[in-house]
Amino acid sequence: MAFIEVLVLVLTFIILLGVGLPIAFSIAISATVTLLLSVPAMAALTTIAQRMATGLDSFTLLAIPFFILAGQLMNSGGIARRLIDFARALVGALPGGLAFVNIVANMLFGAISGSAVASASAIGGAMGPRMEKEGYDKAFSAAINISSATTGLIIPPSNTLIVFSLASGGVSIAALFMAGYLPGLLIGGLLMLTAGIMAKRRNYPRGEKASFAEVARTLVSATPSLLMLVVVIGGIVNGLFTATEASAIAVLYSACLAAVYREVSQKHIRPLLLDTIKTTSIVLFLVATSIALSWVMAYENIPQSITTALLNISDNPILILLIINVILLAVGVFMDITPAILIFTPIFLPVVVATGMDPVHFGVMMILNLCIGLCTPPVGSVLFVGCSVAKIKIQNVIKPLLPLFITMLVGLMLVTFLPEISLTLPRALGLID
């Protein structure tokens, strides 16, 4: 086993993170230091630079900036308000109805924008004051918003699913997109069940029952936004365009929608483009360094060694999947989702394939697992955004978040050990065998 290489890689990475170096630089430096064990310094530096450059030379990666821009346009175009109104008409009359509205709106907006952070910001900013005005505890409202915002990373279109496709070496994006629907809806439904129990115990009020005319009016208002899912996913699944082409169509559709709603003016375009460029730069630099690290690990036979070690522990697929889930849950606490996918996919994918697990199923399981880390300190980006929007301290949100964490873990176990939850739709559409 490549014990020395693994030890050097892990220790270097942990030390660099510990001294506060940004994660992308920590990844690049730890990859270079590990490679120095095998090749001369100049060759190591040249190889890392080449792998970073060639790693970004991918048509598929163009989907990331386009989907980010589409999400920015959606976030600023009045779409969140229309989705909230539609969700309120549907579920607002249930006990603790505004908590349900928050979850449904996050599922809808997250699916359209493809961003958990954007969803937590947009829906939390709109729902927080409403819930507080009707007597909901601020910490409870923030916890509901934070946990449900992550569903947008499972329900397509999702940048994280595209990143997994890249890291896995070419798992079908269309299959991954379709595989995300049922798990995303499952998690949303479980969160609604938990929120309903919590709301009933706290005696939170019901909302007013919407008339049929009100439901119809809000549906008509929200339909143009919801149609983007039909256009993008339908086009990919039917082979009309690739995921990358679909991302460009999503930008065009979002821009047209923003123009129709007249909530994005010319003065907003420059900030939107700058935010898109900043976010894209961060994501793609992480992608480049993680690809270089993945190559180094493959060169040093690290994934094969870890596969052998895990299979030597047990040949029981259930135990192996439990071990992998525990490791990923721990990783998600300390690492953001994009680098975690890029680093650990090449490590664990050979293991699960050896146990007979479908790569599409593993991708959904992995992303769902890492989504939980987005809601946990110390690096949970959705947690920080949700607390910032709600103007509440993180420590005050932890208690109401705990039952929701447990709910997400239950959902994770169901998705892990019931593969048909993920694979039914891709198989029905002939995207996988």
Residue 319 — pLDDT band, cuts 50, 70, 90? Answer: very high
Is 90 exceeded by the pLDDT of residue 215?
no
203: left (phi over 0), alpha (psi -120 to 50) or beta: left
The SS3 assignment for 154 reads coil
| 387 phi/psi in degrees, rounded to 5 | -70, -35
Mean pLDDT, residues 301-328: 86
Element (DSSP H or E) covering residue 275? helix 266-299
In the chain, what are the helix, strand and coil shares in percent, each to the nearest 5? 80, 0, 20
What is the separation, in whole angstroms, between the first and last Cα of the chain?
Answer: 34
Q: For residue 298, what are its two tokens? A: 């493959």
What does the alpha-carbon distance between residue 65 and residue 53 come to, in Å, rounded to a whole number? 17
Contact status, residue 259 vs residue 81, Cβ threshold 8 Å: no
What does the alpha-carbon distance between residue 189 and residue 210 come to, in Å, rounded to a whole number? 21
| 272 phi/psi in degrees, rounded to 5 | -65, -45
Contact status, residue 432 vs residue 370, Cβ threshold 8 Å: no
For residue 255, the tally of other CB atoms under 10 A from its CB is 17
pTM summary value: 0.84
Is 70 exceeded by the pLDDT of residue 230?
yes
Contact status, residue 76 vs residue 263, Cβ threshold 8 Å: yes
Contact status, residue 340 vs residue 379, Cβ threshold 8 Å: no
> What are the pLDDT digits (tens) for 63-121?
888 888 887 787 776 777 788 888 888 887 777 788 898 998 888 887 777 778 878 88
- Type of residue found at 222: A
Contact status, residue 226 vs residue 109, Cβ threshold 8 Å: no
Mean pLDDT, residues 202-227: 84
- Max CA-CA distance within the chain? 73
> What are the pLDDT digits (tens) for 5-42?
778 888 998 899 888 888 889 889 998 998 888 888 88
Average pLDDT value over all residues in the chain: 86
Alpha carbon 276 to its chain's center:
17
Q: For residue 85, what are its two tokens? A: 């109104």
Contact status, residue 258 vs residue 73, Cβ threshold 8 Å: yes
Closest CA to 109 of 124, 99, 98: 124
pLDDT for 362 equals 97
* DSSP state for residue 210 in the 8-state scheme: P
Q: For residue 313, what are its two tokens? A: 């522990």
210: left (phi over 0), alpha (psi -120 to 50) or beta: beta
What does the alpha-carbon distance between residue 248 and residue 275 come to, in Å, rounded to a whole number? 17
Contact status, residue 411 vs residue 418, Cβ threshold 8 Å: no
pLDDT for 103 equals 92
Q: For residue 301, what are its two tokens? A: 């036979």
Contact status, residue 77 vs residue 124, Cβ threshold 8 Å: no
What does the alpha-carbon distance between residue 34 and residue 22 come to, in Å, rounded to a whole number? 18
> What are the pLDDT digits (tens) for 146-191?
999 999 889 888 888 988 998 888 899 889 999 999 999 999 999 9
What does the alpha-carbon distance between residue 424 and residue 402 come to, in Å, rounded to a whole number? 31
What does the alpha-carbon distance between residue 286 and residue 30 come to, in Å, rounded to a whole number? 13
> What are the pLDDT digits (tens) for 35-59?
888 888 888 889 999 988 888 887 8
Is 80 exceeded by the pLDDT of residue 198?
yes
